[in-house]
Structure 1
Amino acid sequence: MTRTTGGTPKARALGAELREARVSAGKSLRALAQELDTNHVRLMRYETGRSVPAPEVVAALLTALGVPEVERDRLVEMARDADAPNWLTADRAGVRQELTALIEFERTATRITNVATGLIPGLLQTSDYARAVMRGKPVGEVEKLVLMRLGRREILSARNGPQLTAIISENALREPIGGHEVMAEQLRKVAELATWPNISVRVVASGSTTWHPGHVGPFVVFEFPKAQPIVHLEHYRSSAFLYNPGLAQEYLDAITTLLSFAMDETDSLEFIAKCANEMEAFA
């Protein structure tokens, strides 16, 4: 049994986890399909999130791959509402699923626009800055997450990597997270990455007397070649993925508005360098 309403954020995250489980088991799509007496194209559609497998199908797949019961139960539960257009994560299992989703969206997107109002965007973070942001988590977990965050940046240097536009508020540049020395290094890194051909950094100065979408908070929009955009909203202990054409267009319009308020790329880099100099003066 298959639910064909695919392409949703949760369906694509589930598909990425199914693909990872199959690869870890060392099985090809054709071999697994033959074992389950099904078509490999159907399995491929599950793994890409274009079709949503029923929970019992997920259970059969994972059993054939020898996935442990706890992990199997987690993914079976994930499949129950994977065809829902929007997805809220608000528990520990959701944190892992959210990370899987972000990696999958970054891997398949053609364009990523990150509106950052309080922190430097994750794909541009240094290891020390990322550690400071993750303060409060267990040490072992922090180091693992830092390595994963730095590893995610590799997608930007891939041959067909996405275009990244980072719209960063002045406040995010001036908040010395981790200390002035750490922040100075972080700002220098942003300036360096902004010279890459597929990375654009635009700064929105503080002090605007006119309201703009940056006053509401951060968000990320992923755009894909053959699927509608996905919007990611991250909060303190929860996050949401939105998959609605009309809503996504509103966020794309918000990006256009923010870019009209932002400095151009040259002025943005000069401003970032100025902030870095100021941080170094305090270090």
Structure 2
Amino acid sequence: MTVELSPDDATDPGPSPLRNFGNEVMLERTRMNMSRVELGRAVVCGESLVAKIERGDRVPQREFAEGCDQVFPHGNGRFMRLWRIALRYAYPPWFWPYVELEKKATVLRMFNPVVIPGIVQTREYATAILREGRPKGLEDIVTARLDRQQILQRENPPRLWFVLHERVLRNIVGSEQVMRQQLLRLLQIAETLAHRVQIIPDNGRHRGPAGASPFVLMSFDEGADVVHVDGFPRGYVLAEPEDVTDADDAYDLLRALAMPLDESTELINSALKECYS
């Protein structure tokens, strides 16, 4: 996921929403006769990061936009509105439809045989996973991934149901400390009444639908379910009824192969103690 930037003058708001955001920050800052150092102190970041954001070289974090709305007079939420548009630059075009659907979903049923789903990844785990792909703009991609987790903080968050392979708990991503913090986060989800986490035990045999890729079944208050399949080089959304039915059947089979909820939680605890204590 690469942030594409135009070589045009950074003060021109036309090339991209990302540059437009940075231009508005620079205009307000200079209007207040405020240095980049002073703005950085006010929004809790460094001078160099302020400069990169003003040039359109970095996707700002949500906290930066919120801070600008507080620091600059008459912000009235303008920087958060601009930020939501600029955030698109941290996603590849093919992924944005999934992000929009994810925001509207009431239930997310996820299967992943390789990693813990991005919707509950810690910053360190997400950074370690994404770094392996040698992407440009790593910090921007991590910022975008973590911001998706805001849907879990809303008044009526979506319900999560994860089916994961046991190797997800034991394959080290980043470091043992990174894994410990990530499994504690997964355990928190497993122990939340609204959510479900089931683990498919690793008994040395293949279990589950042949060639099953990571996928998400999304349900909504209104409208039919849809499926997002995580593939290479890009994921894709399926909305045809027969495709959704096939995914639903596959998910039912995966849940049947997985351990019950309580036993899955115990297995997460065991992995924490055995591997990352």
Same fold (TM over 0.5): yes
Q: Which position in structure 2 is the counterpart of 1:133?
A: 129
Structure ranking higher in helix proportion: 1
Q: Does 1:240 align with 2:230?
A: no
Corresponding residue to 1:124 among 112, 117, 120: 120
CA contact (8 A) 1:163 1:198 kept: yes
Q: Which position in structure 2 is the counterpart of 1:198?
A: 194
Over aligned residues, Cα RMSD in angstroms? 2.6
The one-character-per-residue Cα deviations of 1:81-124 (angstroms, maximum 9, x if unpaired) are xxxxxxxxxxxx99522342222111111111110100111111
Gaps of 5+ in 1: 1-20, 26-92
Amino acid at match of 1:98: W
Instruction: Write the mapping of 1:1-283 to structure 2, written as runs, cut at 5 A.
Output: 95-135=91-131, 136-138=134-136, 141-207=137-203, 209=205, 211-213=207-209, 216-281=212-277
CA contact (8 A) 2:219 2:226 kept: yes
Gaps of 5+ in 2: 1-16, 22-88
How many residue pairs get aligned? The number is 191
The one-character-per-residue Cα deviations of 1:53-93 (angstroms, maximum 9, x if unpaired) are xxxxxxxxxxxxxxxxxxxxxxxxxxxxxxxxxxxxxxxx9
The one-character-per-residue Cα deviations of 1:224-247 (angstroms, maximum 9, x if unpaired) are 222222111112321111111011
Shift of the 265–97 alpha-carbon distance from structure 1 to 2, 3 Å rule, reads: same
TM-score by length of 2: 0.63
Q: Which position in structure 1 is the counterpart of 2:72?
A: none
Shift of the 216–227 alpha-carbon distance from structure 1 to 2, 3 Å rule, reads: same
SS in structure 2 at match of 1:113: strand
The one-character-per-residue Cα deviations of 1:116-147 (angstroms, maximum 9, x if unpaired) are 10011111111001001111123xx2222222
Identity within the alignment, %: 27
CA contact (8 A) 1:107 1:161 kept: no
Amino acid at match of 2:243: L
Amino acid at match of 1:203: I
CA contact (8 A) 2:98 2:237 kept: no
CA contact (8 A) 2:226 2:244 kept: yes
SS in structure 2 at match of 1:96: coil
SS in structure 2 at match of 1:213: coil
What is the rounded CA distance, in whole Å, between the counterparts of 2:156 and 2:90 in structure 1?
29
